Structure 1
């Protein structure tokens, strides 16, 4: 990391003080020739060190994007996909290195190594929420990955609807803040618990784990919630039956949403004095 001009100049002055042949340079005037020269040399050195930093950052970026056979390489290339833009012949990069945000439809991606293949999960954004790619978009993206992937690597590319989470909660609430339905007394929110659950799921990292204990911590962070208890949790994806979640859950699609109707119908509110 480049030093400041003052740091470099001080190191020169320190070296000068240790050199007996330069002991005659004793003037402390800001216009002393020897001091001016230390500043000039310090500026030159500062410019050089900044060039070195810029060069190192550029090389690191090239290395990071050119590493083959790594899961992160596939994630990086997925995010660079530009829908409707032609990929040059025998190239894994577009002619224009700058990504056009209007056609960069892959907002989230995760690569998972499975026996004999790599599964690449992707999602786009629709109205500020994660959503699967359309059939046409997924077909184009699959063709793109097949062109740039490493030889011999089998790919499974998926972009599915979110996994669905069902929750049964018992909320011990402060009657000074919430009412018996869980709404805020001041009228600012009708469903603060449901809204907090939605925000918690939305904030999960793509392909990250849903952890019961983390949800409980989020519930108890709601103003007016004294104790939050997860009585029952279950999740599903595609057309599979719901599977109970006791500790953690890895969403198959890479992201998940709450069954809001189920949550509202299965949330019990019990008045409790502040702890």
Structure 2
């Protein structure tokens, strides 16, 4: 939205470019308005009043546009992003205002609202045939992602059933992180201690896989890139990378890239074969 000052400046600029006005007032077309007219001049006051009227009208139209858009959003089926946002807005142990998808937070402090919003990470994906909307969620504990407890999961399912569009089938994924395993040959500078380089490499691997965006894509190339930044690492060669989803026994080899079933990873078995680089 434009401010009153911005609208007034626009009117003044148009006025100063008007050749007829320039002849009548004796200024050159394109000159500065402030150079010829004072703030209390009749022209300046009139332009201010016009600017206020225009600003009021623009605000009325903006308010009307927002109301229309809000009404349209309520009428049409919602997109996956809406479901993600609504799940992030879920408040534990609170009920919705009747016949709405909103909470009454008038009696809550900002701290209480933040504490009630236990879903810290969420993503919603529609299946290829649009027959199922999968919603992955995770909470946080000690600054690390974690699944929600069983009671909270049950309450969240009831909340989703209440807010979802009629006919939309949803599946809630609230599971422990996928375990990431890998084996690498690390060729390191012999002037550094192998144990020190290995420790730094393990930390880099953990930082990368556990700080991916929620439901973000892991890639073998990005992992190698992270290791190449470490002082003393000359060549990081990835020999294998695998993942195991929570509750599963099947080990899946990662071919170039992978999106975790839970939406996030935890570090599993990482084997680093430290080898002296003889360049």
TM range (shorter): 0.7 to 0.9
Contact 1:82 1:103 in 2 (8 A): yes
Q: Which moved more, 1:223-232 or 1:28-37?
A: 28-37
Equivalent in 112, 121, 125 of residue 136 of structure 2: 121
Distance 1:174 1:134 in 2: 46
Equivalent in 111, 118, 138 of residue 153 of structure 2: 138
Q: Which moved more, 1:93-102 or 1:157-166?
A: 93-102
Q: Which residue of 2 aligns with 1:242?
A: 251
**3-state secondary structure, aligned to 1:86:** coil
Q: Describe how 1:67-216 pairs up with structure 2 within 5 A.
A: 68-96=77-105, 100-114=113-127, 116-176=131-191, 178-181=192-195, 183=196, 191-216=199-224
User: Structure 2 length as normaliser, TM-score?
Assistant: 0.79
> How many residues matched?
263
Relative to structure 1, is the Cα distance of residues 89 and 55 closer, same or farther in structure 2, using a 3 angstrom cutoff? closer
Q: Which residue of 1 aligns with 2:31?
A: none
Distance 2:77 2:225 in 1: 40
Q: Which runs of 5+ in 1 are unaligned?
A: 185-189
Question: 2:23 aligned with 1:23, yes or no?
Answer: yes
Q: Which runs of 5+ in 2 are unaligned?
A: 28-34
Distance 1:227 1:46 in 2: 65
Distance 2:3 2:230 in 1: 46
Relative to structure 1, is the Cα distance of residues 202 and 54 closer, same or farther in structure 2, using a 3 angstrom cutoff? farther
Distance 2:43 2:188 in 1: 70
Distance 1:196 1:64 in 2: 47
Q: Which residue of 2 aligns with 1:187?
A: none
**3-state secondary structure, aligned to 1:12:** helix
